Amino acid sequence: MCRLMEERNFPAKKFRFIASARSAGSKVTFRGEEHTVEELTKDCFTGSDLVIASTPDEIAAEFLPSAVEAGCKVIDESGYWRMKDGVALVIPEVNPQDAIDAKGIIASPNCSTTQMVMALKPLHDAAKVKRVIVSTYQATSGAGVQGTEDLVGGSKAFLTGEKYDYKVFKHPIAFNCIPQIGSEKELGYTSEELKMVYETRKILGDESMQINATCVRIPVANCHSETITVETERPVSPEEARELFSSFPGLQVVDELASGKYPLPNECDGSDLVFLGRIRRDISHPNGLSFWCVSDNLRKGAATNAIQIAELLASQK
């Protein structure tokens, strides 16, 4: 987030950096100046206008109400506030007015939700999406720094025939796929899968949309990929879908199957866009459309989306 705010020249007169007691007193260099990290307390928000928080759920639950009480606009990347009543869940390209109208905390969605909803929005506006079947292929960076260290360390150990003690994953991720992300929830679904269901409905404002998600961790360092099949009220041809995607902000179509051109995680890494390819009719349903979707989960799936919400709020001043 710090790097993105530098790159995008975020408009603020003063920046403060706040973290746990363990990190308080350390130094952060931002825009060529050294800043001392302050300790997170319930009284630390006084005098600030905007808080952008990326913390564990329990920290967000405990401290962010104090930021609201101090008069701050709050953008939260944790999962704690997303589905709470009265909390706006926002992707700026999709539902910016929800952020503008928000009174307290504004939540940024789950990374796998964000890229899917970006793709669904133009289809939903044009032909109303009734049903979605999505399978995700999620990178190890989604499990944090240690997730990627597990991928690298586990891969080296696999190739040399050595043992590796995985810190994040319950099963080896090297040369493997793990069909569980998050904890077990009702009906055999995981928390990650249900996030995609409930968050998508909230962002798009459509509780009638039927969504079935399967989330899988794969041995890719960064960028989540998804196969998405949608059923719409009327048929949407691949040609129309390409036009809808191409004209929507933040989406880029890469779709030339004959020449082997489609979004690849290692080519989408470091971009703020959501990439779409393999756009084709669903031959099992007359109103069906299938496509492939890739996005950098650390950028648009997390940090970029939060910064874009902040930029939207700043533009209203």
Rounded to whole angstroms, the maximal C-alpha distance in the chain is 61
Q: Is 111 a catalytic residue?
A: yes
Positive or negative, the CA dihedral 155, 55, 211, 248 is negative
Q: Coil, strand or helix: which one is 18? A: strand
Exactly one of 44, 111, 223, 293 is catalytic; name it.
111
Give SS3 for 103: coil
Spatial contact of 158 and 172, defined as CB atoms under 8 Å apart:
yes
As beta bridge partners, residue 299 has none
Look-up: residue for tokens 């706040």? Answer: 18
Q: Judge whether 122 and 247 are in contact, CB under 8 Å.
A: yes
Q: Say which of 44, 224, 268, 293 is annotated catalytic.
A: 224
Q: Say how far apart CA 56 and CA 216 lie, in whole Å.
A: 22
Residue 243: partners with Cβ closer than 8 Å, 6 or more residues away = none
Q: How far, in Å, are 82, 234, 287 from residue 87 at the CA level? A: 7, 33, 34
Residues found in the chain: 317
User: Is 72 part of the annotated catalytic residue set?
Assistant: no
Active-site residue list: 111, 224
